[in-house]
Amino acid sequence: MLRLGRREFGPHEPVIMAIVNRTPDSFYDRGATFGDEPALARVEQAVAEGAAIIDIGGVKAGPGEEVTAKEEARRTVGFVAEVRRRFPDVIISVDTWRAEVGEAVCEAGADLLNDAWGGVDPGLAQVAARYGVGLVCTHAGGVEPRTRPHRVTYDDVVADILDVTVGLAERAVALGVPRESVLIDPGHDFGKNTRHSLEATRRLDEMVATGWPVLVSLSNKDFVGETLDRPVKERLIGTLATTAVSAWLGAQVYRVHEVAETRQVLEMVASIAGHRVPAVARRGLA
């Protein structure tokens, strides 16, 4: 059972996490939700389309202008409070690696801390424990936040992913983070080249076999772009194909830009797997 905020999810229940970037320079939308009203409209649309989690980020993942902890908090804390007020039942996640930002957003009502940089600030897990919120434990290959991998190598990338993410998850629980609220994430593109991310996808069932719920953040990423030689705005089909494979292999939470399309893919895979009945069944019955 996965428990986040006020919600509980069964082992075969896919969960969509919608991305809301509070940044002026995000790689995908180029700041489309930097302003409060566009961002709130995005939350409303995502919830209507089936997102259970809203993931709010105040710093883009890639290199760029420095964003201090104070500025990151300015971009996220008030917004978290407003989303909490307007959408009391939605699960609010904040994408941050900083403990001080995690503390501030938890005070404002966040339910989940999405640490995409692999525990670079060990205090973030302590914050999650103190507030009783969830934590995403990600493999980032040991790179510094907001840096790109350069000729990174692994003897076995999936073995490294398992060692790091399970270790972070067990540490979080030992600190007091509720076990049912801890997820692990292979960290596609983070500290990895395209072949590493493809292998992590192909062997995702090994992560699922650990028993920890698996989150995947695949949406329009560079490994999809390089695999198909497509620019950012032409990666949806590749993203959805990767989503279908990940769903078949047992991933549970999907961090995405396109909620409606992802929901259809997840529902179709769940029905093929026998975990969901078709929405209608008329063919051959008339």
Residue 205's CB is within 10 A of a number of other CB atoms, namely 13
- Any catalytic annotation for residue 221? yes
Taking CA atoms, 63 is separated from 25, 34, 52, 255, in Å, by 10, 18, 29, 21
| Largest Cα span, the chain | 63
> Active site residue: 221, 230, 263, 283, which one?
221
Catalytic residue list contains 148:
no
CA distance 175 to 270: 35
**Catalytic entry in 255, 263, 282, 283:** 255
CA 38 to chain centre: 21
Q: Which residue has the tokens 């991933």?
A: 251
Count other Cβ atoms within 10 Å, centred on residue 48.
Answer: 10
If one counts every other C-beta atom within 10 angstroms of the C-beta of residue 265, the result is 21
Catalytic (active-site) positions: 221, 255
